[in-house]
Amino acid sequence: MENQRVIYPTDDGGVAVVVPAPDATLEQVLKAVPAGKPYKVVSVDDVPSDRTFRNAWGEENRMSITINIVKAKSISHDKRRAARAAEFAPLDIKATIPAEAAAAETARQAVREKYATIQTQIDAAADVGALKTIVEGL
């Protein structure tokens, strides 16, 4: 089982991946699968190595792990919001300093415009590759 994984669907539409312990038998590994859940033994190569959109993984007809584009977009928006908040944080402080408030508001508007464009790009992305490119640029 060293080069294999057991996958099964989760109740929220995702996929769980069971990584066997060294020298584990299939019988031992299957104890990790909830009773009544369908499962499949797959090659380690069938499990995506890129975990950027791990919470968007799902199964298609129990044949392979796929990435749900709607969930991947939601993950991308969460990452966009976090990056936007990080850029806003120092400007929020400067906005409270009278001598720096006007410049801070100008900079804040630039941040708003930047992330509005990114939001549009995420919404328009046709595939996971496009989303990955956007997220990596944040």
Residue 108's pLDDT is 97
Report pLDDT digits (tens) over 1-34. 889 999 998 888 889 999 999 999 999 999 999 9
In what order do the strands lie in the sheet containing 4-9? Answer: 15-18, 4-9, 40-43
The ranges assigned to domains in the chain are 4-67, 70-136
Residue 102: predicted pLDDT: 96
Single-letter amino acid, residue 120 = T
Let me know how long the chain is: 138
Q: What is the pLDDT of residues 19-76, one digit of tens each?
A: 999 999 999 999 999 999 999 999 999 999 999 999 999 876 666 788 999 999 999 9
Q: Mapping DSSP to helix (H, G, I), strand (E, B) and coil, where does residue 16 land?
A: strand
State the pTM of this model: 0.83
Mean pLDDT of 70-83: 97
20 secondary structure, DSSP code? P
